[in-house]
Chains A and B, each alone.
Chain A
Amino acid sequence: MGEAKLNQVVVDSGPIIHLSEIEVLPLLQIFSPIHLPDAVWSETVERGRVASSALSGLPNIQRHALSSEDVAQFVRENALEKLQAGECECLCLCKNLKVVTLLTDDLAARDAAKRLGITPVGSLGVIVRAYRDGRISLEEAERCISDLDSTSTLFVTRAIVELAIRELKKI
């Protein structure tokens, strides 16, 4: 139990930053491969928010350089102008690679993903899935969810955290 790999995903900056801040970035190993567009690398590693070694140390990371013209056209065609560069590249990469799951903590990116037929999953989903897969204990999962609010820079209403922990215990 616990070693099964989920389908491939594309990852946005949010889950990388937030899971790194609560020191559980290796939980991303439940996915394989993890597709990482260069704009996300730039938003996380090059801005000093996540150590290069922590991210590139994940064995299942695949980096992708996208053509700026292709991304710009994709943004125009899908009216994504309000999203950040990393989010746009993530959605474009999902479409190019036919990946159906996007890891993101951004609410606007979640809406855009659903509009494009892509399933958005946030840091919370990664933690709960890791618990369900037996990679972390219930206590660790509770601690991680609580830390998303108290330690990470993810902005989440405290009541949501309390509800999530209550739901976690039903699994």
Chain B
Amino acid sequence: MVNVLTYLETIARETHKTESEIMALALETGLRQLWRERTLARYLHKEISREEAIKAVGIDWVELAERQHQAMMEDLAWARRN
């Protein structure tokens, strides 16, 4: 498995950006992902409404989370049966 330092060096070289610029982009991307995960978690825990979740992360992510949640609940129900 390639380590993150190799990712950093390779992306910097291939995009002709400095490693500092790549680190800044990585931080922003990571924070966006964490924010999305946090928002979806709050929605699935019923702490915010569907409309609020859609406004925060977009309907595609909300619908994907809903489908995954349904699949999870079906799997749990199946595992408990029989």
Contacts and interface: CB of A to CB of B under 8 A. Distances in A.
- Chains A and B come from one and the same complex: yes
Interface of A: 6, 107, 110, 119-122, 124-125, 128-129, 132, 156-160, 162-164, 167-168, 171
Contacts of B80: 128, 132, 171
A107 B41 contact: no
A159 B37 contact: yes
7 contacts: A107-B68, A107-B71, A122-B71, A128-B75, A159-B45, A160-B65, A171-B80
A23 to B, nearest CB: 15
A154 B75 CA distance: 15
Interface of B, secondary structure class, is helix
Interface of B: 37, 40-41, 44-45, 64-65, 67-69, 71-72, 74-76, 78-80, 82
B76 A158 contact: no
A126 to B, nearest CB: 8
Given A6-B82, A107-B71, A157 B40 contact: yes
A163 B43 CA distance: 12
Contact of A119 (B41, B44, B69, B78): B78
A124 B45 CA distance: 19
A119 B69 CA distance: 16
B9 to A, nearest CB: 24
B65 A157 contact: yes
Nearest 10 pairs of A and B residues by beta carbon: A125-B75, A159-B41, A128-B79, A129-B79, A124-B75, A158-B37, A160-B68, A159-B44, A159-B40, A157-B65
A124 B72 contact: yes
A110 to B, nearest CB: 6
Nearest to B76: A167
Nearest to A166: B45
Contacts of B71: 107, 110, 120, 122, 124
Given A157-B65, A160-B69, A125 B44 contact: no
A110 B69 CA distance: 13
Contact of A121 (B40, B64, B69, B75): B75
B25 to A, nearest CB: 21
Given A120-B71, A125-B79, A157-B40, 12 more contacts: A6-B82, A107-B67, A120-B74, A124-B75, A125-B78, A129-B78, A159-B37, A160-B69, A163-B69, A164-B76, A167-B72, A171-B80
